[in-house]
Chains A and B, each alone.
Chain A
Amino acid sequence: DIQMTQSPSSLSASIGDRVTITCRASQDIAKYLAWFQQKPGRAPKSLIYAASSLQSGVPSKFSGSGFGTDFTLTISSLQPEDFASYYCQQYNSYPYTFGQGTKLEIK
C-alpha cells in the first residue's frame, strides 16, 4: 500500500498568514493527489485534484503543487473560515490512501 505522510500534524497561524502543508507519498503517484478540507462535524470538502487543479467553486487562495512523491498545499491570506483540518489522498492505485491530516488552528 502507498503510505501518505503529511506534515505538520498541527499548525498554528494568524489571520492573514500564508501557510504550507506538505504531503509525501511512499512511492511515485505521478499527479494523482487530492487535497480535502474538513471542519468539525462536517464531511470532507474537495479542494484540489491532480495535485494542482482547483475544484470548481474553491477560491484561488488555495493552491497545490508537486509531482511524483512530494506535494504541497498552500493557503494564502488566512481567514477564520480556513481554520480546519486538511487531508491529502492518493488515487494513483488501489487501495486509495489518505494522509493522517493537518489541523490548522488560530494562533
Chain B
Amino acid sequence: EVQLVESGGGLVQPGGSLRLSCEASGFGLSNYDMHWVRQSTRKSLEWVSAIDTAGDTYYPGSVKGRFTITRETDTNSLHLQMNSLRAEDTAIYYCARVRSTGSMDVWGKGTTVTVSS
C-alpha cells in the first residue's frame, strides 16, 4: 500500500528549530517529486517546499532561507528542516507525492507544528 507518514511536529518557541520527517512506503520516494504543504487554522492550504527527482529544491518566499527540504534514500524518507520559526509557521504540515502528471496524488495525515512562547 502506498503511504506517507509524517512525524516530528511539536511545540517550539519563536526563533527555534524543528525537523519534520515523512516516511514513504509502497513506493520509492526518490522516483517522485515530493512536496510539503501546510494548513493553519485560519488559512487555506499553503505550498511550503518541493524536491524533484534531480534533487533540485523549491520554496516560496515566506520560508526561503529558513526551511530546507531533503531526501534520504536509505530510509525512503523526506525531511523538512525548519529554522528561525515564527508564530505564523504554526500549522499542520503534510507531505505529498507528485505523480508524473505534476499533481499531488498521495498525502500523509500530517503533523502539527505550534510556534509559541
Contact = CB atoms under 8 A, between A and B. Distances in A.
B66 interface: no
Interface of B, secondary structure class, is: strand
B104 A34 contact: yes
A91 B101 CA distance: 10
Contacts of B98: 91
A44 B105 contact: no
Contacts of B105: 46, 49, 55
A34 B99 CA distance: 12
Interface in B67-117: 94, 98-99, 101-110
Given A46-B103, A95-B61, A100 B94 contact: no
A43 B101 contact: no
B101 A97 contact: no
Contacts of B101: 49-50, 53
Interface in B30-44: 35, 37, 44
B103 A43 contact: no
A87 B44 contact: yes
Interface of B: 35, 37, 44-47, 50, 58-61, 94, 98-99, 101-110
